Each structure stands twice: as C-alpha cells, then as structure tokens.
Amino acid sequence: MKIIKRNGSEVTFDVAKIENAIRKANMEVPEDERLTEREIRFASLNVTDECMEAGHTVTVEEVQDLVEDQLMALDHFSVARKYIIYRYVQNQKRQKNTTDDKILALIECNNEEVKQENSNKNPTVVSVQRDYMAGEVSKDLTMRSLLPAEIVKAHEEGVIHFHDADYYAQHMHNCDLINLDDMLQNGTVISGTLIERPHSFSTACNIATQIIAQVASCQYGGQSISLTHLAPFVDVSRKKIRRSVYAEMETIGYKASPDQIDTMVEKRLHEEVARGVQTIQYQVVTLMTTNGQAPFITVFMYLNEAHNPQEKHDLALIIEEMLKQRYQGVKNEKGVWITPAFPKLIYVLEEDNIHEGDPYFYLTKMAAKCTAKRMVPDYISEKKMREYKLSRGETEGHGDVYTCMGCRSFLTPDRSGNGYDNVAKAKNYESGKPKYYGRFNQGVVTINLPDVALSSDGDMDKFWEVFDERLELCHRALRCRHDRLRGTFSDAAPILWQYGALARLDKGEKIDKLLYGGYSTISLGYAGLYECVKYMTGKSHTDEEAKSFALSVMQHMNDKCAEWKAAENIDYSLYGTPLESTTYKFAKCLQKRFGVVKGITDHGYITNSYHVNVREKIDAFTKLKFESEFQRLSPGGAISYVEVPNMQDNLEAVIRVMQFIYDNIMYAELNTKSDYCQVCGYDGEVKIIEDDGKLVWECPHCGNRDQSKLNVARRTCGYIGTQFWNQGRTEEIKDRVLHL
C-alpha cells in the first residue's frame, strides 16, 4: 500500500510511523491519561485498515485525520489534543513555503499528483517540467495574493474548483474558435513576419499548423479550426497544377486531350491534398508548445459549411484524406502504427451523408471505420444542433451548426443579430450573418454537486439553500476570471488580438469590448449530478422518480446563468466539466469531509457532468436518448458517449449508433480501446489490475507494467489521453461497463 506525501511524492505505507507519532503525543500528557502500547497498536491498525479500504492512495493529511478519529474514539482526548496541536504547529511551519518542495519533487519526477495531472503531458520531459514549475509558482501567487480567501478555501476543500489556477496570474483565457478563414484569406503575422494569402493547399496547411502552435502558446485551453477554411485552396492548387501541366505538355510538344489533362491534374491534386493533410496530422502531434504538450486542437468537418458545390466537393476530398490518414494512425518509436491523441476530429452528421444512398454516405462509412479503430471522429448532429442553437431571429430547426472550442466548450448563439457589428474588426465580416469564428471562452469554475447534497444532509429545503450559496460563490469566482482579463492589452498576445485569430485590434488597444455582449462566454461548470441525485433521492437519475429532480437541478443552474447574464451583459453558460485530475480531487475531498458514504463517496472519482454512472448497466441507445435531455440543458458545452468493445468487424452497428445520434442527440462519441505493448507486440486491450492497493496497467500477454513501453489510448474527458491517469480516473476507466 502507498501513501502520498505533502510534496506529492508516493512512498510505501509504514504503520510504524503512525505508532511513533501517537507515542510522541502520548508522552506529552500525564501518565494516567496515556494510551497503553496495546491501544497504540490497536489505533494504528485501525487506521491502516481504513486506508486499505479507502479505494484510493491516501495522503498524509487523510492519515492524520484518521489518527485523530481513533484517539477520540478511544476517549483519550488529551492525547488527541496534543496530537492536533503538534500537527497545527508543523502545518504553520510548512505554510511558509510549500512551493519549493513541490517544485523539487517535480524535477526529481516523484510528485505523483503532478505526474498524473494531465494525460497528455509527460512530466519527465524538461519542457513539461518547466511549464509545471511555472505553474506551481503561478498557483502559489494566485492562491496567496490574487484570489479572495473564501474562493481559495472553497477550492482547496473541493467545494468548487477554480480551473487552471496555474495560468491565472497571467492575463490568459481558456479556449478559442479560430478565425482561420480571415487569417488565410487576408493574411496574418507570425513572430513579426507577414504571412500573405497562400498560393497552394499545401502551403495553407503549413500556415494553419503554425497558427495552431502560436495560438496554443497564448491560451491554456482547446482550440478548433474548420477544414472548410482550407477548402478554397484546393481549387487554388487545382488551377496552379493545371497551368503547370499545360506548360509541361507544351514543352514536350504533346497535345493532350481535355480528359487526359483532367486526369493528370486530379492525380497531382490528390497527392497535394494528401501532403497537406499529412502536414496537419504530423505537425500537430510533433509540435511542442510552451505549455509542454502538443496543441489541444479540434478539426471540424462539416460539408454543408461549404459556400458552393465546387468548395463542397473539395471539402469532401480533404475530409476523405483526413479520415484515411487518421485511420492509419502514426508510428511510435518502434515503428508501429498507434492512435494519436490529437488532432481531435469532429464529423457532422447531415442529411446528405447519414443514410445509404446519400451522396456523401461513403464518408460516413469511412468515419465509422476510423472510429472503430482510432476512437475519432466524434459526431455532431446537424439536425439536433439546428434545433438547439438559435441566433437572434432564427427558429427551431433553422439554427446554426458550429464546432466546439477544443473538446466540448460551446459558444452561445449569436444574440446580436448582426455578427456583433464586427467588434473584433475581422476582415471577413459579413453583415447580418451569425458570427462564431473568432470568439472565445474566458474560463471555468466548477461546482461540486455531491458536496451540495451531502452538506444538506438530505434535507431538500436546505439543499436549495446550500445550492444557492455555492452558486453565488462560483459566480464571484467567475467574476474574478472575468476581471482578470479586463484591461488586457492586445499586445499581450498579438496572434490572438491583433492578427486575426480572434480579432484585429490596434496595438495598445484593450480587449474589454470582446468580454461583453455575448462575444465571448464564461462557464459555470458542474460535476457529479448522479451522486447528487442518488444521495438526495436514493435513486439514480435514470430512474423516473429521480429524473425530475435531476432536471430541476440543471434548470436551476441555467436560471442562475441567465440571471447573471441579464445583470452584467456577460454570457455565463452552463458547462459539463471534463474532469480529469479533478474527479479524483473532488472524491478525496468528499471522503475527507463526509467519510465513506456507500454509493456516493466510496470510489476514487465522481461522475462527469450529467453522465450516467460508469458502473450502471444501460444500453447505448437508452443512454444517449436519456442524456440528450440533459445535454440540451448544458448549452455551454457537454458531450455524451457510449462504451463499446472492438467494433472493427461490426461497422454496421457503429453506423447504426451514428444514425441514432443524428436523430436524438447533438454531440456524442463512441469509446473503444486502442493499445499496444512494445515488449511483446500485443495489440489488444491493456488491462488495469490492483497491486498493493494501487491500480496499475498491465499487458495481459506478457505482464509488462512499464508505462514507457505501453501505448495506451483512452478517451476520458471528451478527448483522448495517452500519458496515463491518476488513481481516481484509472479506477473510473476500470469500472466502465459496455453499452453495446
């Protein structure tokens, strides 16, 4: 069994240390008030048993809490008092500087908490360490000086989560929907160099990857681009190639027929499209941005976004190549094709690609094949999104279709009715057309819903009272995020604010006008709806008797967002938080505050957003239909999934799920497995087993447990992770039941 020290390092649990700590406190009281050696041993073994049953790797603080409980249970209050005083004094000493120890532990690669914080960062690499080191300093500054004490306390206790505190000291925001069209068509500037409109598709792809890298280094969340913005350059290349072919024919004196010319042109064009897509694929996975990881980029594939038939044809060509190359994967260091984490792909299901016989159904079949092997693309239903996302003046069924920013954060529909009157000064502004590209999200604060329920002790009136208090706390924390961005000069990130990614503001101009009126959003996150409802009603929210309460909780959060928005002209929006490391943090905090409550706090994780609990048996179609009601009440972003086995030999079933998504839910994905053992070559599912109280990954064929020699890809939060996960998230992955 392991224990996590205060600096984040993980060591073997030693019961002798507990016994010695009790003895020290014991010697501080009169002899007639002391514990016997037998009582010391009894208390220590009880603590050991509770640690083994905790379901996660315990921290030193948790162990000390258990020791206090045991001393008081034995009625040795004077010893408990001495133990608490000693603990308090030592804690005061540590408060003077905790950052140094964390950074040193990080550099020596024994800070388990940081090592498992981000499933797409390798903390043994110096560039990642550098980012984490800066993050620890920034977090320390944020918590000591920049945030109100009540928010810091709530964050530390797991009542709320103030996301990305390691970037808060800087004037940075969360995620973006890149206006790639403006940057490519009208030029941009990268590192002081003017980049003009490209003269070929391959050049446009190369510039796009440079933009992606620059943007990723100026914000901390996800970003998205649309392949539609690259599609016009296919015809640019087509015309360029045609001129070249004619010139070659003239040089050799050969008079080719129009059909021969067309064949040669299209062959070379396909080769260029393949090279361009490969540039995006390989550049993205090999780029290392200033935050120590590949850019968190989502690529949007939506045929009906094209402006004319020729552009749609060319867009289909790009999508086909993107799917083909992603199906193939990328080679690992051993030369074996594996599943990369990025770019994340989103494929829009629409009326001309969803059924057999539709003109673009061949692309949907390719998407299904790719999903079965590589877990992407994910799917947006054009039909449902047009029902939900209504800009000013639009009616249900005739709304807007656009991509999320990164894995799930969605912009609110354009409420201006006129593209916000081009407040961002974009050069591709179209009056009267809803605007999405160039907008962004300011940041996220998440409420811990199970904590609200447990704090109410099951009293429904008290629940709503506590809920409102916690929501107001989140509101104040979100205002901190907003106010931190106010007054930011465009010079802070020229690629974003001056050169087209989000705006074309003047040098020295403040970004404030982009923070109001709905141009950008700010997100109230939520987590653990299942556990919240389970505690308050005794039933899962899939039960009809509990469902109405679950929906009322969702509606209440939406109502609060609307209330704040009306008062402040800031687009607050409800967001299904993609908990990664925080699912473990929230679970540990709940256990510390409320103990182990069966079915609520007895695991090392809590359920993401509105999702059906991972342990609950439910079929794929029922799950998607059920969650669609909750997804609609999560307009700031959410994604649903179904867990499936290897589906490569059952693509008909994959397509059936996709067709169900089209008719029933706006945004969903299929989770499968994609693993490889570098030791023995096994390419099936790498298993999770328990060893000495810790969950570890093991090749079922050869027993290899060396993570550096295992390629494991799992979707955990709407995106794929490949660098493994903390114990809480690993437990959640292990507990997942199949839905198909």
pLDDT per residue as tens digits for the range 625-670: 999 999 999 999 999 999 999 999 999 999 999 999 999 999 999 9
Is-catalytic flag, 441? Answer: yes
Q: Is 175 among the residues known to form the active site? A: yes
Distance set, CA 154 to CA 28, 157, 470, 553, 592 (Å): 34, 5, 9, 21, 14
The arrangement of strands across the sheet holding 720-721 comes to: 674-677, 710-715, 720-721
Residue 157 pLDDT: 95
Catalytic choice (133, 322, 407, 557)? 407
Please pick, among 51, 133, 143, 175, the residue that the annotation labels catalytic: 175
CB-CB contact of 575 with 637 (8 Å)? yes
Catalytic residue among 441, 456, 664, 704: 441
* Enclosing H/E stretch for 330: strand 330-331
According to DSSP, the residues that pair with 640 across neighbouring strands are: 668
Tell me if residue 409 is catalytic: yes
**Closest to 527 in 3D by CA, of 623, 451, 441:** 451
User: Given 385, 405, 480, 589, which residue is catalytic?
Assistant: 405
Burial of 126 (0-12, 13-18, 19+ CB in 10 A): exposed
Which one of the listed residues 276, 419, 718, 728 is annotated catalytic? 718
Catalytic residue among 138, 353, 409, 674, which?
Answer: 409
pLDDT for position 357: 96
Q: What is the pLDDT of residue 721?
A: 78
Find the helix or strand (DSSP H, E) in which 639 lies. none
Asked if residues 172 and 220 have their Cβ atoms less than 8 Å apart, the reply is yes
Decide: residue 258, CB within 10 A, 0-12 exposed, 13-18 middle, 19+ buried: exposed
pLDDT (tens digit per residue) in 276-310: 999 999 888 887 655 556 788 999 999 999 999 99
pLDDT of residue 611: 97
Q: Which two tokens stand for residue 506?
A: 């003047």
pLDDT, position 131: 75
Residue 319 has a pLDDT of 98
Below-70 pLDDT ranges, the chain: 6-9, 55, 88, 90-123, 127, 288-293, 717-718
CA dihedral 254, 259, 260, 261 (to 10 degrees): 80
Contact 713, 375 (CB under 8 A): yes
> At 160, is the secondary structure helix, strand, or coil?
strand
Sign of the alpha-carbon dihedral angle for 640, 644, 646, 652: negative
CA distance to 64, 85, 114, 597, per residue, from 91 (Å): 12, 10, 21, 28
- Show the 3-state SS of 402-469: CCCECCCECCCCCCCCCHHHHCCCCCCCCCCCCCCCCCEEEEEEEEEHHHHHHHCCCCHHHHHHHHHH
Q: Burial code of 722-732, b = ≥16 C-beta within 10 A, e = fewer? A: bbbbbbbbbbb
For 465, the token pair is: 């009272």
Of 389, 312, 316, nearest to 347 by C-alpha is 316
Do residues 275 and 234 lie in contact, with contact meaning Cβ atoms separated by under 8 Å? no
> Which entry of 305, 350, 580, 643 is annotated as an active-site residue?
580
Catalytic residue, candidates 174, 490, 628, 711: 174
Give pLDDT tens digits for 563-603: 999 999 999 999 999 888 888 899 989 998 998 899 999 99
Candidates 360, 402, 437, 575; catalytic one: 575
Structure confidence at residue 309 (pLDDT): 97
Whole-structure pTM value:
0.87
Task: Name the one residue in this structure whose structure tokens are 């510039």.
Answer: 207
Distance CA 583, CA 585 (A): 6
Burial-class residue 374 by CB neighbours within 10 Å (0-12, 13-18, 19+).
buried
